[in-house]
Amino acid sequence: MQVPLPPAASTEARNNASMSIDSLSALEIVQLMNQEDARVAAAVATESTAIAQAVDLIAQRFRTGGRLIYMGAGTSGRLGVLDASECPPTFSVKPGMVIGLIAGGKAALTSAIEGAEDRRDKGASDLQQLGLTANDVVMGIASSGRTPYVIGGLEYARSVSASTIGFACNAGSALIPLSDIMIAPIVGPEVVTGSTRLKAGTATKMVLNMLTTGAMVLIGKTYGNLMVDLTATNEKLKDRSQRIVSELTGLTASAAGELLGRCDGQVKTAIVAHQKQITPDEAREVLNHHSQHLRRALESLTSK
């Protein structure tokens, strides 16, 4: 069944400011795009309450073993896959905790798959293959607000009582009745008409950053603004781990490095082990008792 286009879809409207963009110089094009991009943060800010509700919901599901599953087509799908892929190295979570689905599958990450976004049935079947449960959260990302693949996915998610979040950059989105929480920053017409990889894509990236970062902070993946649950998979991250341990314990860089070595590179374990002068295994037990939340673990040590 064809999904009707919402009235006055702003992402498909022509932008008066860029009507003559093909006659501008390179500098003028850059300045014009920068002026239009400046509108994005303000549009996202109008959705702060809905975004915060989504952050709380996602964190709640994470605490009980649930997953966040993004789904979208084209740019929307790629951004979801990107955000999901960045969570394991940044926050040391298992790859299956945040998942990105894109219409057309992996091939669609680098190539346009003709008609993939129009497959409503694939939205449902892709979630079925993941074994979707009521403890999961599905976020449908569709700048237009009418992508059949996303609509099919949200319909299936609701059928199994999974929580749903909708994201669109148009008002009156078809995702609204399918979403427990709807996030809709209205960024207005694109510099190149209909090219939602521009302002709409930027808004999408901003919101996804907030959702996963906010939820990870709430479940204890940072200490202040320090990335204490990172996975040191390269020299840059190993150096960052060492600097964090050094800063929070007062140890020299070399001593922090030695401590991390004894703690299998685990930043939080190293900090708790040093502060309490206990073994790495004992430090892990303390952290597990406090749901891996470093601040709570350290506060429990100083209150005794």
CA 231/CA 266 separation, integer angstroms? 8
**Residue 112, both tokens:** 């346009």
Distances (CA, A) of 227 to 125, 231, 269: 36, 10, 13
Supply the Cα-derived Rg of the chain in whole angstroms: 22
On whether the CB atoms of residues 282 and 273 are closer than 8 A, the answer is: yes
Task: Please give the helix or strand (H or E) that residue 68 lies within, else none.
Answer: strand 68-72
CA distance 283 to 32: 54
Dist. CA 120–CA 257, nearest whole Å: 52
Catalytic (active-site) positions = 86, 117
Residues 6+ apart with CB under 8 A from 195: none
